[in-house]
């Protein structure tokens, strides 16, 4: 049963990163232009989907709370500030998204809020991942640090890297969904964003080696694991091929594969720990009776329904956006 909930938690987080990642990326790219038509196109590409995408963050949090309470109890005090700031960014972003459609004199404020909320949420997510990779101060399954223990040069670099990655994912989505100058601008943005992501990933790798982080030992001891970044390299080449051939759907698909590879690398580095290297997945799990009780409701009813809803949403809103459309 613990394996089942581990898979559901990992899948929920991956779905969130990919789906909300591209609309956070679109939100950041929204701030790179003042052209009204390009901004309308960007908003129209995510308008029917963005709130459903964020639902997966709630799902991941609920699964973590219900199925892995020890990990939840450890992470909450460690990430109190970044989680609070991230949620504030997501809330302000959502409010700005809706309010700007009705605002006239204050539209500039809500536009800035949409961009800033997207940037803050993305940065905090990356910073938390970086803090986990670097390692949290834990003793006896209890967090022993303070409210700023998550902050370090490595976590800041991770936050910047995820912002660049989300922006790259957003550019791929805009190419997939939009036409005209909006798509052309996204085509132009993909190469420099891809270079920035690769440079930042290399910097993170070098930082981890220089700091002798524990996660790096696993990769050095098991070189076969480098097959995963090799797949990621193939995805990078596919992005370049999509840009060169102006193939609208290829860059986004290849960038998603790149994100999946990065996520898999983290999972491999952490396993079997949920909080590296202090709390294992098995040790973080709730009692079997609790996991079994959750299974019959959330596990085989609610979760599959959410997957079906997500697939249906993306099927219904498939294809290019209508340049003449207003908001929804």
Q: What is the pLDDT of residue 328?
A: 47
The tokens describing 200, both together, are: 């930042």
Closest C-alpha to 57, from 31, 98, 101, 23: 23
251 three-state secondary structure: helix
Where along the chain do its domains lie? Answer: 2-290
Exposure pattern of 10-40 as b/e (b: 16+ CB <10 Å)? bbbbbbbbbbbbbbbbbbbbbeeeeeeebbb
Q: What angle do CA 230, 234, 235 make, to 5 degrees?
A: 115
Q: What is the pLDDT of residue 297?
A: 77
Closest C-alpha to 256, from 175, 135, 321, 137: 175
pLDDT tens digits for the chain (328 residues)?
Answer: 788 888 899 999 999 999 999 999 999 999 998 888 898 999 999 988 888 898 999 989 988 988 899 999 899 899 999 999 999 999 999 898 888 878 778 888 999 999 999 999 999 999 999 998 888 888 877 888 888 999 999 999 999 999 999 999 999 999 999 998 999 999 999 999 999 999 998 898 888 777 767 666 666 666 667 778 888 889 999 999 998 888 888 999 999 999 998 888 888 878 888 888 788 888 888 888 888 888 887 777 888 888 999 999 999 988 888 766 555 4
- CATH number of 2-290, picked from 3.40.50, 3.30.160, 2.60.40, 1.20.1630: 1.20.1630
d(CA 37, CA 186): 14
Exposure pattern of 260-287 as b/e (b: 16+ CB <10 Å)? bbbbbbbeebbeebbbbebbbbebbbbe
Burial of 293 (0-12, 13-18, 19+ CB in 10 A): middle
Closest C-alpha to 93, from 24, 20, 12, 7: 24
Give the chain's count of helices (H) and strands (E): 14, 4
Q: What is the pLDDT of residue 312?
A: 92
User: In the block, which residue shows the tokens 């003449």?
Assistant: 324
């Amino acid at each position: 049963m613990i394996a089942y909930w581990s898979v559901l938690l990992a899948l929920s987080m991956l779905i969130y990163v990919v789906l909300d990642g591209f609309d956070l990326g679109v939100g950041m790219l929204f701030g790179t232009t003042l052209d009204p038509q390009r901004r309308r196109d960007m908003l129209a590409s995510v308008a029917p989907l963005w709130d459903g995408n964020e639902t997966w963050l709630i799902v991941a949090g609920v699964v973590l709370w219900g199925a892995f309470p020890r990990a939840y109890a450890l992470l909450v005090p460690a990430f109190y500030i970044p989680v609070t700031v991230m949620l504030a960014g997501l809330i302000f972003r959502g409010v700005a998204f809706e309010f700007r459609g009705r605002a006239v004199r204050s539209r500039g404020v809500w536009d800035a809020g949409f961009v800033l909320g997207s940037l803050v949420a993305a940065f905090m997510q990356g910073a938390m991942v970086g803090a986990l990779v670097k390692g949290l101060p834990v003793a006896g399954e209890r967090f022993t640090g303070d409210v700023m223990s998550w902050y370090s040069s490595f976590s800041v670099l991770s936050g910047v890297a995820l912002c660049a990655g989300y922006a790259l994912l957003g550019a791929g989505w805009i190419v997939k969904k939009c036409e005209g100058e909006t798509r052309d601008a996204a085509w132009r943005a993909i190469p420099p964003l891809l270079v920035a992501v690769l440079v930042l990933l290399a910097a993170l790798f070098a930082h981890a080696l220089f700091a002798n982080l524990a996660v790096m030992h696993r990769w050095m001891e098991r070189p076969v694991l480098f097959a995963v970044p090799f797949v990621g390299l193939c995805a990078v080449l596919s992005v370049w091929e999509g840009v060169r051939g102006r193939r609208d759907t290829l860059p986004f698909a290849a960038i998603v594969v790149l994100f999946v590879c990065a996520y898999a690398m983290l999972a491999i580095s952490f396993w079997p720990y949920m909080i590296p290297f202090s709390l294992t997945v098995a040790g973080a799990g709730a009692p079997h009776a609790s996991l079994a009780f959750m299974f019959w409701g959330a596990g085989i009813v609610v979760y599959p329904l959410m997957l079906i809803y997500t697939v249906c949403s993306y099927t219904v809103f498939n294809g290019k956006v209508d340049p003449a459309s207003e908001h929804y």
